[in-house]
Structure formats: structure tokens, C-alpha cells
């Protein structure tokens, strides 16, 4: 296993390259401007160029395989610029973002937004219906509640949770395609695109690649990933998934080609209250952290769709795999704990992934 043919899929705020070099015991390379030469089958000498930067709450890395380094660098920079634009439009942490304006004003009047934000909100509504509400971008009041009580080292009270739940529900999000405007039906409602905007940003970077003529590359935004074409050797890309109980190790690898992959889990991001860890993914119907599954990974045509569906799968808990199998056109991997064996996990895969998944942890059990 080398750093050339395996990319790591996770939600951790660190470079997948640095992680791979650490577990392989290798040295050298930097986050910005990682470069290595190679020869693709039947092609001229290819160069692999990787550029990355902190963005959207994680480390974004974009890799291209192209004979012309200057062309590759320009293509990557264009993709990163598109992703920065998405963050500027859709971040809940930016006062000047379109979502920030929606959260401040849309309960009192319709707020017009740009084409990109409207498209993401439209897909979010669609995924909310597909998932029977397991994916819900109106979860912002719950997120804010947990963020506030965590700072005070306490859980939300039942009264606080009930009040926040009264402001959650995608039926309260109204979208008018004619005016491209957004309304929130109840005062105090808010939008959080954290479970879908990053996937959309990956997609627009891939679209930028297509316009620039890049035929082989990878966009990785800390848990949301999309591969373009085949790798530089002409084969499928091999994506690694971290072990949720031992994140310094890899659990498995999966072969993908011209597809998006997104993973969702609580093993890196969580709230600590009273010395106990609570997952950051909240159930939009109970207001409590989702549990039952350790991680859920979805493979789809678009990273935006994979992102939202992976979140919905995690919210479904023990029913995560059943949920994934009900959605047409996707494949998935769900990792669950093994009863009475806290150090072991079961790996459940959809039928379409048979022969494409390789377990890298001998103690794991492959199901499905």
C-alpha cells in the first residue's frame, strides 16, 4: 500500500497525505504543492500535483494528473476558487453569507438568493422528502442549542429540546423558484447546510475540472470526496476508510471510478459534556445525537447527494443500511459495533460493492 494509490476518506481536519505518510512510516511532502511523477498506461509522462488549503472547516485537497504542470496548477486553483465561493455563500458562520441573511430575515420576509444557494436548498428539500426527514437543513436551532449548552458543560433540558424541535422541519422551508426566494414559516427557524454544502463545493470543483479538460483527478474535502475519471495509472481509485474505533488505522479500502464518496460519523467530531462524549450529528425528530451506527459511507454520482444521504443514513442508526438500500442509484457501507465485543466492528456493504471492498482490519466482519 502506497501513498500513490490510496486516498483516505474521513471527517478529520488533517491532510490525508500526511495521515498516509504517518501510517506508512514514510517522510517528505507538504500539504501545499505535493508533486510526484508517473506514467499512465498508453499516455505521455504524467505528473501528479496536489494543492490544499484550510476551507469550509476542514482541509481541502485537490489532485490532478496531467502532463503540463502549469495547466494543472491553474485548474486546481480554479477549483479551489469555486469552493471558496460556495463557502462565502452558504456558511452559517459568515454574517455576510446568503444563508446568514436567510437566517436573520427569512422568517419575516422572502429573501432572494443566488442560483447556487437556491439549487442547494432545492436539493436539500428533495433529500428531506427522500429520507422521511432524517436529513433536514432546518436543524439549525438544535445545533445552536447544543453548541450553547456544551459551552456550559451541560445537556439541553427537555424543555429546551422541545422548544428547538418546534422550529425544526423541512415543511417550514418554502422555496419560490420564480423569484428564487426563501421563506421560513416560523420565527426562530434557521438553515444549516453543513450536511450538504461541502458536497456541493466538491461537485463544482469537479465541474471546473471538466471545463478545463482535466480527465484525471480527485477533490477531497474532509469526508466528501469525488474522483474524476481513472487514476494516473489507468485504474480505479482506491479510497481508504478510517477505523471508527481506532482512527489512526484504516478499516477498509473501496474501488471507485468517476464517482463521489461521502462518509458521516461521530468518531472525530463530538461534544464532551461532563466527561462523556456525545456525537455531533443530531436527530431532527428527537433532538438527541444519532447513534446505532459508527459510520455511514455513500457512493453516488454527485458529492452533494452522497453528503446528504450519508448524514441521513447515520440518523437512521441501526436502520442505516436498510435506508441506503431503499434509495436507488447509490451504494453504501455502514460500520456498526459488535455486541459484547467493543473492540470489533461489522462492515455492511450493498450488493454492488461486492468485490470492490477490501478489509484492512483482520478483526472486522464483512456482511452483505
Q: What are the pLDDT digits (tens) for 148-206?
A: 999 999 999 999 999 999 999 999 999 999 999 999 999 999 999 999 999 999 999 99
C-alpha cell at 305: 447527494
**Do 277 and 297 touch, CB atoms closer than 8 A?**
no
Phi, psi of 299 (to 5 degrees): -110, 125
What 8-state DSSP symbol labels residue 232? T
What 8-state DSSP symbol labels residue 283? P
275 known member of a binding site: no
Rounded distance between C-alpha atoms, residue 339 and residue 63, angstroms: 40
48 known member of a binding site: no
pLDDT in tens, 308-338: 999 999 999 999 999 999 999 999 999 999 9
Q: Does residue 18 carry a pLDDT above 80?
A: no
CATH of 93-184, one of 3.30.70.120, 3.40.50.300, 1.10.3980.10, 1.10.3720.10: 1.10.3980.10
Neighbours of 117 (CB within 10 A): 25
Domain boundaries, the chain: 93-184
pTM for the predicted model, two decimal places: 0.88
| C-alpha closest to that of 143 among 127, 132, 156 | 156
Rounded distance between C-alpha atoms, residue 191 and residue 111, angstroms: 13
Rounded distance between C-alpha atoms, residue 123 and residue 129, angstroms: 10
Neighbours of 150 (CB within 10 A): 17
**Hey, which bits of 4-128 come out as E strands?**
6-9, 34-39, 45-55, 58-66, 111-112
224 known member of a binding site: no
Region of 323 on the Ramachandran plot (φ > 0 left; ψ -120 to 50 alpha; else beta): alpha
CA dist 153 to 158, 280, 281, 346, Å? 16, 15, 18, 33
pLDDT in tens, 66-99: 999 999 999 999 999 999 999 999 999 998 999 9
Amino acid at each position: 500500500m502506497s501513498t500513490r494509490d490510496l486516498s483516505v476518506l474521513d471527517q478529520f481536519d488533517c491532510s490525508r497525505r500526511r495521515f498516509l505518510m504517518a501510517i506508512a512510516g514514510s517522510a517528505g511532502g507538504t500539504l501545499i504543492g505535493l508533486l510526484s511523477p508517473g506514467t499512465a498506461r498508453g499516455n505521455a509522462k504524467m505528473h501528479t500535483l496536489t494543492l490544499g488549503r484550510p476551507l469550509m472547516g476542514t482541509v481541502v485537497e485537490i489532485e490532478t494528473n496531467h502532463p503540463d504542470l502549469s495547466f494543472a496548477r491553474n485548474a486546481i486553483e480554479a477549483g479551489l476558487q469555486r469552493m471558496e465561493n460556495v463557502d462565502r455563500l452558504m456558511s452559517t458562520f459568515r454574517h455576510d453569507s446568503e444563508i446568514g441573511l436567510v437566517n436573520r430575515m427569512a422568517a419575516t420576509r422572502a429573501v432572494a438568493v443566488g442560483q447556487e444557494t437556491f439549487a442547494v436548498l432545492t436539493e436539500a428539500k428533495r433529500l428531506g422528502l427522500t429520507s422521511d426527514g432524517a436529513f433536514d437543513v432546518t436543524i439549525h436551532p438544535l445545533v445552536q442549542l447544543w453548541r450553547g449548552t456544551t459551552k456550559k458543560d451541560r445537556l439541553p433540558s427537555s424543555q429546551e429540546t422541545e422548544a428547538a424541535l418546534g422550529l425544526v422541519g423541512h415543511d417550514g422551508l418554502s422555496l419560490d423558484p420564480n423569484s428564487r426566494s426563501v421563506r421560513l414559516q416560523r420565527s426562530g427557524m434557521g438553515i444549516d447546510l453543513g450536511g450538504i454544502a461541502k458536497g456541493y463545493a466538491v461537485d463544482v470543483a469537479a465541474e471546473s475540472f471538466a471545463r478545463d479538460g482535466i480527465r484525471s483527478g480527485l477533490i477531497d474535502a474532509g469526508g466528501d470526496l469525488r474522483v474524476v475519471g481513472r487514476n494516473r495509472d489507468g485504474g480505479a481509485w482506491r479510497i481508504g476508510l478510517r477505523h471508527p474505533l481506532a482512527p489512526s488505522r484504516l478499516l477498509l479500502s473501496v474501488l471507485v471510478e468517476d464517482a463521489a464518496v461521502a462518509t458521516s460519523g461521530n468518531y472525530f467530531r463530538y461534544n464532551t459534556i461532563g466527561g462523556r462524549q456525545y456525537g455531533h450529528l443530531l436527530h431532527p425528530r428527537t433532538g438527541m445525537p444519532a447513534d446505532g451506527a459508527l459510520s455511514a459511507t455513500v457512493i453516488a454520482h454527485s458529492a452533494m447527494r452522497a453528503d446528504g444521504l450519508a448524514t441521513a443514513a447515520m440518523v437512521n442508526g441501526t436502520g442505516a443500511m436498510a435506508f441506503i438500500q431503499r434509495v436507488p442509484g447509490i451504494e453504501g457501507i455502514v460500520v456498526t459495533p459488535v455486541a459484547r465485543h467493543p473492540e470489533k466492528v461489522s462492515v455492511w456493504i450493498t450488493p454492488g460493492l461486492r468485490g470492490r471492498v477490501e478489509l484492512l482490519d483482520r478483526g472486522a466482519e464483512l456482511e452483505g
